Each structure stands twice: as structure tokens, then as C-alpha cells.
Structure 1
């Protein structure tokens, strides 16, 4: 079995500004027909049927949904999905938060996590690891991609917020280019994974604020969402 991972951009879709053009979020005010067309295009592009993509109603929490088949609707109030089913694509939507795509190619278990500041702070990534273990994954075999997200140089936060998040997510404290307090969530998650026994971690270095082929809520409030997708390919 192989683990497949895909990260989309904002290009090549049917949405009009400010969601131009490949917006996959159905909760941001975009035309529903355009979003549906974009989601069909995503499925076609990665070789899965549209009903084999599983979506989340993301709420910045630490709830994990264990998925054993297609879902007609997004999994309610969850920020991570895991499955051991072949050909079932788990989708995470982001526009500055970290899309975390995990997979154990031996056990055939995958996970998709929406790790924003709040979710990462309260342990959504480690909760997903626990759920994957429940399906037979082994932490030492899990391979992870930390997708594009706002970088530490662009994610300015109040000093007290940085201290609080770094207390719960060590390694996340950073500074902007101007020396202001900031957060680097990918660095904190990387450290959290290493501390949890997961060492096979790749990082997509693109910053969503700086890279205009990606959606960024901090740069453009009211914009669309790009996706990270992970699935087991037989």
C-alpha cells in the first residue's frame, strides 16, 4: 500500500473573486455551485470519486473522527479524521492553519488534521496519533507532511499569547522580521511529533501570507480555502 498526499493551490477553479479560483471551502460565502464544481475537479484530479472525499466541519478543537466509509455530509465538529479504508480521501481545509497529513504505509492508516493555533495548543495532532494507533498504526512508522501555513516571520501575536501557546506547544515561539512576538506553529508541531516518537516529518516551507498562489485569511480576510488530502492507495 502507498500513502498519497496532495496540497491544492488557489488556481484552476470556478470561483470568482475574492474566492478566485479554486476555493474548496463551503463555509466562506462563495457560490455553492462553484464550490461543488471545484470539489468535483479535485476528486477527478486525484483519481477518486467525489463521494470518496470526506470533509470536516472544522471548529478549532481536538476532536478526531474515525471514518469507515464515505460520508454524505461533512463530519460534524471535528478537526481531525483518521481511517484504515483504502481509497478514502480525508480532506483538511486551511488558509493559514497547518494542514497535517499523516500515514502509516504498513498498516494502511492515514490521518488529516486541521492544526490552527487553538487546535495545536490543545493537542489535536497527538489526539490524531492516538486514534491512528487505535486502527493499528505504529508511531515509529508514521510519515507526516506539514503543509503550507503562515510562517513565524508573518504570524505576529501578543506577547502573552505567544508565551501561553509555547507553554503547551514548545518550540512554537518565534519573532517577526521586525522582532515582534510571533508563533511558528509548524515548528511547534514538528517538536510535538518528535517528542511523541514520530520522526519521519516533511515540511512544505511555503508561507500562506507570502505565497499568493495559496489562500491566506490573514492576508485577505474573507477569502477561500485550499486543501490537503491524504488517502491509502492500494
Structure 2
């Protein structure tokens, strides 16, 4: 979803759905309610306390906002459940095997993607009855290569096999293709379909929040977008 609508005010005005944005918690809860009612009215929204890890949790019953486990992906086959991931430049990845009734959602920043959160999410879906070749995955709005400048120390954490995701920039700098990297990890995990929306969070302040843009502009805080996938009752 974009930042349009919602009740949050100030630097993160709009449909701000993250509890870590120095926002009024009541506004965040209302924004999350509005998002749920837009996607799957009456569903239980379940999210995690994201930590840029490769951890995945299986949702069998919903939990409260103050009980969120520390992880970066969720999977479920429970009808009436919406899985929610919040992002502000990292890649939200939504996955579904419609035939099996299994869905997944992953927060894939470079650290989590590099550590295996994509593969772990697919594995967890398969354990619930999904088939890899039936899984369709979408990579939502995230920072694009043209906006993602990194340094030599960042580049050094990736091997030669990942060279195609780095375009040369200014001296000692590179432009990293996060959505391309995530799509490739999805394909390597065996999913049947994997596509990126091609929407750059950094370059479109009217529609998207961006951590890097807020940092470059010296803003006091930044909002979080929410991406949702679920199973109807």
C-alpha cells in the first residue's frame, strides 16, 4: 500500500503503519485498521517485530501488537488472517500458493535477503503444504538501484556471483540492485513466479516513505509502508 490516506500527522503524515516511527500509537492502530478493511475486511492482522534477520514464524493464531515475536517473515494457512510487513526502502515480499491456501510475507532488506530470509520463508510455506512451483511472489515498493548508493565495505560482503547487482558509481561507490537481488533469490528458491513492481520508494515522496530519503533530508523521523497478504475465510 502507499502512504495515501490514513490519520497520521507530521513528518510521517498519511497511512503510517509502523510502531517505531515516533507516531501516536492510536494513529498507527487506526491506520492498520484502515489497511485491513481495504484488503480483507474483518481479518486478523498479524505482524512481527522486524530485526533484519532471516527468522520466520508460523502463524497458527493471531497475537497482539505487544506480543510480536522478533523475526522478519511470517507464513500461515489460517483463513481470516492477514500477514503484515512494514518497510521504508527494504523490500516487502508477498508470496502465495493459492491451491494450497498458504501465504507468506517477508521483510527483505539486504541483510535479511543475504542471510536467507527468502529461502527460509519458502521452506516454511512448503512445510505447511505449499509447492514451490505453485508459489507466486511479488516484490513491492522498495529502494531502486538508481537511488541505492553503497560503499566498498558493503560490496565486499557479496561474492563475485553477485557482481551483476552492483553498477559502478563514483570512485569507491556502487549502486546496488536490491529488487533484482531479491527476485533472483526467489527464483533460486524454486518459486514458480517472481516479479518486482519496479516502484522506487526513495524517488516518490508523494506515495512512499523512505528511510534513506528522510536521512538525506535531515528529517526527524520516517514512516513505514505496510504490505499485506492473507487468506479469506
Output the TM-score relative to the length of structure 1.
0.90
Q: Which structure carries more helix by proportion? A: 2
Cα distance change on mapping 1:163 and 1:199 into 2, 3 Å: farther
How big is each residue's C-alpha offset from its partner over 1:175-228, in whole Å with a ceiling of 9 and x where there is no partner?
A: 459994021111111111222222411211110001121000100132110011
Identify the match of residue 182 of structure 1 among 159, 175, 192: 175
Alignment of 1:1-234 (within 5 A): 8-49=1-42, 52-73=44-65, 74-165=67-158, 171-175=164-168, 180-212=173-205, 213-221=207-215, 222-233=221-232
How big is each residue's C-alpha offset from its partner over 1:43-66, in whole Å with a ceiling of 9 and x where there is no partner?
A: 22223326x000110000011000
2:218 equivalent in structure 1: none
* CA-atom RMSD in angstroms: 2.0
Aligned equivalents of 2:118, 2:109: Cα separation in 1: 10
Aligned equivalents of 1:162, 1:205: Cα separation in 2: 22
**Cα distance, 1:233 vs. partner?**
2.8
For 2:147, what is the secondary structure of its paired residue? coil
How big is each residue's C-alpha offset from its partner over 1:127-169, in whole Å with a ceiling of 9 and x where there is no partner?
A: 1011111101111110000001001111111123124235586
Cα distance change on mapping 1:80 and 1:13 into 2, 3 Å: same
For 1:164, what is the secondary structure of its paired residue? coil
More divergent stretch after superposition (127-136 vs 182-191): 182-191
**Cα distance, 1:174 vs. partner?**
3.2
Unaligned runs of 5+ in 1: 1-7
Cα distance change on mapping 1:116 and 1:69 into 2, 3 Å: same
Aligned equivalents of 1:97, 1:166: Cα separation in 2: 21
For 2:104, what is the secondary structure of its paired residue? strand
**Cα distance, 1:32 vs. partner?**
1.3
Aligned equivalents of 2:170, 2:39: Cα separation in 1: 38
Aligned pairs, number: 226
2:42·2:80 contact (CA, 8 Å) conserved in 1?
no
